[in-house]
Amino acid sequence: MEVNKDKILHCLRQAIELKIQRIFIAEGSPHAISGEFFVNTQENPRFIIPLTHRKRILFAANGAQRDHIFAPGEVLFCPAYCWSAEVWDREHTMVSVVFRRSYIRTLFIHHHAASNTQDAPDIIYHTQMPLSTAGTHLLLAMSSAAKGSASQIQILKALLTTVEEAVKSDHQSSSGKEIFTWNCVREYMEMSFHQDISRVSIAKALHLHPASLSRLVHKMTGDGVNKYLSKLRMKHALHLLKESDLSIDEIAEQCGFRYTGYFIRKFRSCNSDSPSRYRIKYRESLDRNRQ
């Protein structure tokens, strides 16, 4: 994975110059009904923009689960807490933009058809500042604009241009280098915790020494790499138990556990109950609150 501002700007320009034909907007329900693919649910709105070839993505829209092959010119917008499941079954290039509270994350991926698992981003860049006020208004307008309208497409173009300007004007100071590196580490772990990753593989992907990675994670979170990774997995497990009908086996796989029995033991040590019992209690409490 390469951190490169100029290359990201080039990729963003490619996205801006695309002839946008259709914008799909993901929803939070119905919830994913298959555990075959990793279901990505974030509290941060994001765009997925194929640049070349075709990309398969599952998502919820109009009260149903969609399975769509996206061509260049088609864009998926995922508002906060809405889900998507990217399928890595064919070659494509893509740009993704995520709007976090304190910064904008931009990444480029060239996925090769030989692999059916998600590659690490080829190029990544984080701004030191969040989206501007004007950009925030454009982001809000995306959800309220008429679906498929010319105005919605123009809003997207303006928003991408705002992101491009934010990246272009961004300057990484020496004092901000540690925060920048931490943002890269956090993003990588949040994107990859469902895979079989370790301290060594994370450090290798980010071109860091494993000891440096450990020191950084401990400084920023108070936890070791493995413990922080476990917390990410448990957080996702809680979400899936609450919001999906995936089986416990499927949830274990979605959260990066090879063996369901080990997942259940880890979950019980963190939450006192087994995953199944936790789900039952949660749904019983919902039923009581509705009465």
Q: What is the mean pLDDT of residues 64-76?
A: 96
- 96 with 15: CB under 8 angstroms? no
Q: Is the pLDDT of residue 87 over 70?
A: yes
Same domain membership, residue 146 and residue 22: yes
Q: Is the pLDDT of residue 89 over 80?
A: yes
Task: Fill in the DSSP letter of residue 104.
Answer: E
Same domain membership, residue 145 and residue 72: yes
- 136 with 155: CB under 8 angstroms? no
CA 203-208-209 angle, to 5 degrees, is 85
Q: What is the mean pLDDT of residues 45-51?
A: 97
Same domain membership, residue 191 and residue 164: no
**Chain length of the chain:** 291
Q: How far apart are CA 81 and CA 106, in angstroms?
A: 19
Going by pLDDT thresholds of 50, 70 and 90, the confidence category of residue 219 is very high
- 78 with 46: CB under 8 angstroms? yes
When the pLDDT of each residue in the chain is averaged and rounded to a whole number, the result is: 91
Could you tell me which residue, 56 or 29, shows the higher pLDDT? 56
Return the half-sphere exposure (C-beta side, CA atoms, 13 A cut-off) of residue 119: 22
Domain C-terminal end among 154, 170, 186: 170
Instruction: Give me the torsion for CA of 172, 217, 192, 35, rounded to 10°.
Output: -140
Same domain membership, residue 186 and residue 166: no
Same domain membership, residue 109 and residue 44: yes
**How many helices and strands in the chain, by DSSP H and E?**
10, 11
Backbone angles phi, psi at 14, to 5 degrees: -60, -45
| pLDDT more than 90, % of the chain | 72
Q: Is the pLDDT of residue 291 over 80?
A: no
Same domain membership, residue 136 and residue 46: yes
Q: What is the pLDDT of residue 165?
A: 97
Q: Is the pLDDT of residue 52 over 70?
A: yes
User: Strand, helix or coil at 273?
Assistant: coil
The CATH number of residue 264's host domain is: 1.10.10.60
Same domain membership, residue 148 and residue 87: yes
Closest CA to 95 of 11, 38, 155, 165: 11
Domain C-terminal end among 170, 199, 226: 170
| Structural domain for 211, as ranges | 172-291
Q: What is the mean pLDDT of residues 217-221?
A: 96
Same domain membership, residue 179 and residue 165: no
Domain C-terminal end among 170, 192, 223: 170
Same domain membership, residue 224 and residue 103: no
User: What strands lie across the sheet with 22-25, from one edge to the other?
Assistant: 2-3, 123-126, 104-111, 92-99, 46-53, 74-78, 22-25
Q: How far apart are CA 264 and CA 275, in angstroms?
A: 6
User: What strands lie across the sheet with 40-41, from one edge to the other?
Assistant: 40-41, 83-87, 55-61, 64-70
Going by pLDDT thresholds of 50, 70 and 90, the confidence category of residue 119 is low
Same domain membership, residue 144 and residue 52: yes
Going by pLDDT thresholds of 50, 70 and 90, the confidence category of residue 15 is very high
Q: Is the pLDDT of residue 37 over 90?
A: no
Q: Is the pLDDT of residue 106 over 60?
A: yes
Number of domains comprising the chain: 2
Q: Is the pLDDT of residue 174 over 80?
A: no
Same domain membership, residue 200 and residue 111: no
Q: What is the pLDDT of residue 43?
A: 87
Could you tell me which residue, 172 or 48, shows the higher pLDDT? 48
Q: What is the pLDDT of residue 41?
A: 87
Kindly report which listed range (104-108, 134-138, 143-147, 211-215) carries the lowest average pLDDT score.
143-147
Q: How far apart are CA 176 and CA 248, in angstroms?
A: 41
Going by pLDDT thresholds of 50, 70 and 90, the confidence category of residue 173 is low
Going by pLDDT thresholds of 50, 70 and 90, the confidence category of residue 59 is very high
* Other CB atoms within 10 A of residue 147 CB: 12
Going by pLDDT thresholds of 50, 70 and 90, the confidence category of residue 36 is confident
Could you tell me which residue, 2 or 78, shows the higher pLDDT? 78
